[in-house]
Amino acid sequence: MIDDGTGLLTIGELARSTGLTVRTIRYWSDEGVLTPVTRSAGGYRLYDAECAARLELIRTLRELGLGLDDVRKVLADETSVAEVAAAHVLALDAQIRSLKVTRAVLSSVARRGSTAEEMTLMNRLARLSAAERRRIMEEFVDELFHGLDQVDPAIEERMRSIAVDLPDDPTPGQVDAWVELAEMVQDPEFRSQMRQVMEFNMSDQDRVAVRGRSTWFPMRLVQLGGEARERGIAPESPEAEAILREVLGDGGDPAVVLERMESASNDRLARYRELLATVKGGGPAAAHRAEFAWVVAALRARTAG
């Protein structure tokens, strides 16, 4: 404190009383967030008790990670501490999610022994923003339905629900699955294949109507196929024929249904379902490879007969 009875502090005295460096206080003063009340005859900055209190608030806000622009707004009463804190929480959440993705990518690279090229690709795809990841999946689904007439709303809703994103705290396996899935849905050949499946399942619905219901029922068949496998029922057995009849009804054409099931049971589509399940937190069993195979075998046995 200068010895003139004013109670004013030099920048050095303010630094000693707060534990901050002279350099930091000078920088904040130069940036306009801590204005000295006056200057000494020699031109030195002088601060009062209110400045010291303001300095403590600046330090607290900075330690919480706020930028100088936000600090300046708080000090100028342009915004409240609560409003700035709420906005900062959102920013920190985004940083935390990004760090978790980075950790998962590095864990995957370490586990797989990836090359530099693979690591670069994984990092690029995994660190896309949530909006960019959503856009990749939504564009894929949009292309599947573009130009199709009389799309069953239930089918479209089910397909649009697959626009999956990485969870906030992904495992290395989920990062692997997301990267592979993102590459797959952007592959023109796979998109064309999925489009063909979609067109096939949308076309001529009346000729394969099953008891008046939508023709999109492969998962019901897969469910029954799984139950039949657990009970040890052979696909070519009379019990299997009874199971198919329960779903198809007397008017259902097993040959047409077989064609539809075969279009949805190839290895790449099965891998696509596996990846979706993994990203969502499920497991590879969700691809239902064995169940699809049982249904296809049962339909083949019936059409052959």
3-state secondary structure the chain: CCCCCCCCEEHHHHHHHHCCCHHHHHHHHHCCCCCCCEECCCCCEEECHHHHHHHHHHHHHHHCCCCHHHHHHHHCCCCCHHHHHHHHHHHHHHHHHHHHHHHHHHHHHHHHCCCHHHHHHHHHHHCCCHHHHHHHHHHHHHHHHCCCCCCCHHHHHHHHCCCCCCCCCCCHHHHHHHHHHHHHHCCHHHHHHHHHHHHHHHCCHHHHCECCECCCCHHHHHHHHHHHHHCCCCCCCHHHHHHHHHHHCCCCCHHHHHHHHHHCCCHHHHHHHHHHHHHCCCCHHHHCHHHHHHHHHHHHHHHHC
Angle at alpha carbon of residue 118, lines to 116 and 124, rounded to 5°: 100
Q: How far is residue 64's CA from residue 89's CA, in Å, rounded to a whole number?
A: 10
Task: Choose the most confident range, by mean pLDDT, from 82-86, 105-109, 176-180, 264-268.
Answer: 176-180
| Band of residue 180 on the pLDDT scale cut at 50, 70, 90 | confident
Q: 108 vs 203, which has greater pLDDT?
A: 108
Contact 171, 177 (CB under 8 A): no
Q: 260 vs 52, which has greater pLDDT?
A: 52
Q: 231 vs 296, which has greater pLDDT?
A: 231
Least reliable range by pLDDT among 66-75, 167-176, 244-253: 244-253
- pLDDT at residue 197 tops 50: yes
Query: pLDDT value at position 204?
Result: 44
Query: pLDDT value at position 216?
Result: 46
| Band of residue 23 on the pLDDT scale cut at 50, 70, 90 | very high
Give the strands of the sheet with 45-47, arranged side by side: 9-10, 45-47, 38-39
Q: How far is residue 113's CA from residue 28's CA, in Å, rounded to a whole number?
A: 47
Mean pLDDT of 145-167: 70
- pLDDT at residue 68 tops 90: no
| Percent over 90 (pLDDT), the chain | 9
Q: Is the pTM for the entire model greater than 0.85?
A: no
Task: Choose the most confident range, by mean pLDDT, from 145-159, 201-215, 218-232, 276-290.
Answer: 218-232
Beta bridge partners, 39, equal 45
Query: pLDDT value at position 97?
Result: 75
Q: How far is residue 266's CA from residue 257's CA, in Å, rounded to a whole number?
A: 15
Query: pLDDT value at position 283?
Result: 59
Q: 250 vs 85, which has greater pLDDT?
A: 85
- Both tokens assigned to 250: 């007397």
Q: How far is residue 220's CA from residue 260's CA, in Å, rounded to a whole number?
A: 13
Q: 280 vs 106, which has greater pLDDT?
A: 280
Q: How far is residue 122's CA from residue 200's CA, in Å, rounded to a whole number?
A: 34
Query: pLDDT value at position 62?
Result: 85
Least reliable range by pLDDT among 53-62, 151-160, 241-250, 273-282: 151-160
Q: Among positive and negative, which fits the CA dihedral 296, 299, 304, 305?
A: positive
Query: pLDDT value at position 106?
Result: 73
Please state the domain extents for the chain.
9-75, 80-203, 206-305
Query: pLDDT value at position 262?
Result: 67
- pLDDT at residue 207 tops 50: no
Fold of 9-75: Multidrug-efflux Transporter Regulator; Chain: A; Domain 2 (1.10.1660)
What mean pLDDT value characterizes the chain? Answer: 77
Query: pLDDT value at position 11?
Result: 92
Q: 168 vs 234, which has greater pLDDT?
A: 234
- Both tokens assigned to 65: 């990670």
